A and B are shown apart, each in its own frame.
Chain A
Amino acid sequence: MKDREKTITRRDFLRGATCATLALTMGLLPEEEKTVELPTKTKVVLIRDPEVIDAKGRINAKVIQQMLDEAVTALFDKKDPVESWKLLVKPKDVVGIKSNVWGPLLTPKEV
């Protein structure tokens, strides 16, 4: 019974999205949650840079940093990457980063 009480279904998410949109429209969201507007469409950013890997297959960490900055500023339409990151995470957030160790698609340590 306890498990059932804790169950979150797809419908709960749908209700949540509906409530959040309504709250935003009515200005009911708390101040700290107003930093990011709920998008009507999902935005996907793809950054490509041929210089990120040299002819010998070595990864250029500086280019990766530039690509990441470019991605996050493009995502939020901001000029400053730090300002953009602040819209994504707050100092008290715990951030998990998923890496991949499977040989053919290894997450390089530079990332």
Chain B
Amino acid sequence: MKHQFLSRYVVTSVFVITICIATISVCSTIKESEKSMHMREFVPNEIYGWRAQGEVEIYDRKTIFDYIDGAGEIYLSYGFRKVMVFRFIKASDPTILVELFDMGSPEDAFGVFSHAREGEEQGIGQGSEYRGGLLCFWKGNFFVCVFSERETPAAKKAVFDLAEKIAEKIEVTGAKPKLLDYLPAEGLLNQSVRYFHLHASLNYHYFVASQNILKLNPQTEAVLARYQPGGGFLLCVRYQNSRQAKEAFDSFLGAYIPEEKESGIAQTENEKWVAAKLEPVFVMVIFDAPTKAYAQALMEAFEDKLSESTSEEGRGL
């Protein structure tokens, strides 16, 4: 009797759990589908005679390589969720392509925008640049690229105006990563600021080591920026807790400047200087400083800014 009761209980529980999972799955599919519909509305159907043609292509974290084989890792290194691709056709004019990336957060939308940023700001969205027919901007959770297969005056105008229209439709803005607030302003080359999470991204911008000696992971936040004069690089990594930060700091010192583990500052083989410091959850490193004094001054400026910003955050400012 007891056995029968238990069996019925187990069968009923399994049934209820299955229903719950199915309901959650259906709800998330509906939510995802509503989000896709919402994203489609950001892109107009026509601009100066160019018309959106064919089905909108959608790629997610599993299928991104079907669209961008070779560069898909860049998006996957951030919180990329999906990309929608729209093709605009006009007889005898170059095709215009729109890529609308949902990056999951404003921080990561900024991050992927910062990955290859080199050009002048174009005033679209929350940050933009234009290079040889390709206009990219970020706004809110979205990173958007509008590309003309050939650059003609008419196509360039269409690319800019299409981007403007999409940026207007994305109503919600988002904050840049908080980590950027800690960068000292003096001498900072704004276009050099990169925001990322992983070791591979750091090595892409500035090769440090073949192994992940700074113990970067999807949860760590890192900012790398270049300073002038002198051309030194400042790297700041925020870890999830002080234990992780300490482990990463020790690992870095052991692998990169084993001869100066105590002082954390050393001259490298190119006659420049490297300096590292640990704050509770942060590891800061200055690379390629022209002099020891420069490395120390930049580190101090950074620590001042960090202390100022974190105390403001503490006061809720």
Give the B-binding residues of A (Cβ under 8 A): 3-4, 6-11, 13-15, 18, 98-104
Contact = CB atoms under 8 A, between A and B. Distances in A.
Contacts of A101: 68-70
B70 A7 contact: no
B179 interface: no
Main DSSP-derived SS at the A contact region: helix
A104 B70 contact: no
Q: Name the residue among B69, B71, B97, B210 with the largest chain A CB count within 10 angstroms.
A: B210
B268 A14 contact: yes
Nearest to B203: A10
A21 to B, nearest CB: 11
Contact of B209 (A9, A98, A100): A9
Contacts, number: 53
9 contacts: A6-B210, A9-B255, A10-B287, A14-B268, A14-B269, A99-B70, A100-B70, A102-B70, A104-B97
8 nearest A-B residue pairs (beta carbon): A14-B269, A7-B211, A9-B209, A8-B210, A101-B69, A102-B68, A104-B147, A14-B270
Nearest to A14: B269
Q: Which of A7, A13, A15, A99 has the most CB of B within 10 A?
A: A7
Contacts of B270: 14
B254 interface: yes
B261 to A, nearest CB: 14
Interface residues on B, range: 20 to 34
Q: Which DSSP category, helix, strand, loop or mixed, fits chain B's interface? A: loop
Nearest to A99: B70
Contacts of A102: 67-71
A77 B264 CA distance: 46
Most buried by B among A10, A13, A103: A10
Contacts of A4: 211, 254-255
B37 to A, nearest CB: 24
Interface string B115-137: 00000000000000000001000
Contacts of B269: 11, 14-15, 18
A3 B211 CA distance: 7
B208 A6 contact: no
A75 to B, nearest CB: 24
